[in-house]
Structure formats: C-alpha cells, structure tokens
C-alpha cells in the first residue's frame, strides 16, 4: 500500500511538474504558444468538447471501429494461424507471402481500403483488422509449431486422435501465446483506426485532430491527443481485466 502511495506521489510530481513547466514556458513566450499551445487552452477545448457533447459521437465511432477491427483480426488470425501451423504444406507455400506482407509498411494500404470501402466505418475496420491479424497470426502459428514433438508423441501413444490433439494440445499452446499478445493486438487496432481516420474519414477522434490541424489549432490537436491517450489507457485496463481470468487457463 505504501509503495502504491509513493508511486502515485511520484507520478503526480512528475506529470504535474511537466504541466507546470509547459504552462510557464508558453505563458512567458519561451516556447511559442502558436506551435506548443497552452495547457489552459487545451483544458478549455476538452471542456467544450465534453460539456457541449460534440465529441461523444466521434468517440463512439472510434471505439466501435476499434472493437470490430479487433474481433475481425482476432478471428482471421486464429483461423489462418491454426491452418498454416497444422498444415505444413500450406504453411511452406503461404508462410513466406504472409511474412512479406507483414514487412510492408501497411499504412500504404489505407488509401486502398478507402477506395474499396469508402470513407465510412468499414475502411477503418479493414485497415485496422489487417494490423491485428499479423499480431495474432504469428503468435498462433508460433504456438502451434513450437509444440514439443515428445508431447505430441506421448499424446498419440495414449490414443489421442486429431480432434483430441487439437483440443488438448494445439489449442492450449496457441492460446497461451495469444493471451500474452492481447494488449498489443488491441493497441494495434486502436492505432490503426485513428491513423485511418486521420487519413480520411467523416467522423472519429482522428478526424477531430485533422480538423484542428487544418485550421492551425494546436490546442485542439493536443486536446485530441489527450482524448486518445485516455482511451488507450482505458482499453489497456479493460484488456487487463479480461485477461486475468483467461490467464488462469494458461498452461505452465
């Protein structure tokens, strides 16, 4: 308990000090407010957004897109990861292609998805799901391929058939890798949605930041960054809450 209090005090001093330094440096024009904004103005922008209710629709769109992208990327990564991990012939054929796609800067895919699906929700979901897919796929693929041959031989020796091996050996091994990558997968979904919104959208927090940038409103840009940071923290806490009961089933 005392350690947590000391940590809270340290956080307060650190971030409070940074905010105070930002305020005084911009108040006395050591840092140009046009480029660095003012903390008070950023706070006022947040009050206007939340108090007036204009931001809630944008937040809702961003969070729904993040959830859909995470679910689609998760399911696709699980299916393809198990398929190529279990089928060595297909893995040898398609594995190098997937690895090549993973090394490609996927931000170049955002305009393609926009052309295919328009500026609405589904272009953001498709782009972000492509980011989540690779995180999940490689963890599932690795989890399936790195199972000890001795474990498989012992399971077959006691009469385990294909479905039983999948349920009792392959699935627990792969899911143990997936559980450890949930934070990264949700983070990639959120980042992908925001980047995609910034590149072209009608709604969303990324669109709010783009609008503020378009009129040189640096305080609006910083306010958008604060909102995104808060959402990222909440999503991480949510994943941690979901992850705890799941990790009880993780094999050791």
Question: What's the confidence (pLDDT) of residue 240?
Answer: 79
Angle among Cα 187, 124, 210 to the nearest 5 degrees reads 85
Question: What's the confidence (pLDDT) of residue 146?
Answer: 72
- pLDDT tens per residue across span 23-50: 898 888 888 888 888 999 999 999 999 9
Burial 179-190 (b: 16+ CB within 10 A, else e): bebbeebbbbbb
- pLDDT tens per residue across span 170-224: 777 777 777 777 888 888 899 899 988 888 888 888 888 988 888 889 999 999 9
- pLDDT tens per residue across span 75-119: 999 899 888 887 888 878 888 888 888 887 777 788 888 888 888
CA distance 46 to 15: 18
Would you tell me which CATH number, out of the four given (1.10.10.10, 1.10.3720.10, 1.25.60.10, 3.50.50.60), belongs to the domain 38-247?
A: 1.10.3720.10
Report how many helices (DSSP H) and strands (DSSP E) the chain contains, helices first.
13, 0
Question: What's the confidence (pLDDT) of residue 125?
Answer: 92
Q: Using DSSP, state whether 200 is helix, strand or coil.
A: coil
């Amino acid at each position: 308990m005392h350690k947590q209090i000391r940590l809270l005090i340290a956080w307060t001093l650190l971030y409070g000090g940074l905010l105070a330094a930002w305020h005084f440096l911009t108040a006395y024009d050591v840092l140009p407010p046009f480029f660095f904004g003012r903390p008070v103005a950023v706070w006022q922008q947040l009050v206007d957004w939340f108090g007036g209710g204009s931001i809630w629709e944008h937040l809702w769109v961003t969070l729904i897109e993040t959830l859909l992208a995470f679910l689609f990327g998760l399911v696709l990564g699980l299916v393809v990861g198990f398929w190529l991990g279990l089928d060595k012939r297909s893995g040898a054929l398609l594995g190098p292609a997937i690895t090549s796609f993973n090394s490609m800067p996927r931000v170049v895919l955002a305009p393609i998805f926009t052309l295919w699906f328009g500026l609405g929700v589904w272009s953001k979901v498709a782009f972000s799901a492509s980011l989540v897919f690779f995180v999940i796929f490689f963890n599932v693929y690795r989890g399936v391929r790195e199972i000890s041959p001795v474990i498989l031989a012992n399971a077959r020796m006691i009469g385990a058939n294909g479905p039983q091996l999948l349920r009792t050996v392959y699935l627990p091994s792969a899911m143990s890798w997936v559980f450890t990558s949930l934070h990264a997968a949700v983070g990639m979904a959120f980042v992908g949605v925001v980047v995609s919104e910034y590149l072209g959208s009608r709604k969303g927090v990324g669109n709010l930041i783009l609008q503020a940038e378009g009129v040189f409103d640096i305080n609006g840009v910083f306010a958008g960054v604060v909102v995104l940071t808060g959402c990222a923290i909440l999503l991480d806490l949510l994943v941690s809450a979901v992850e705890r009961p799941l990790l009880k089933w993780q094999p050791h």
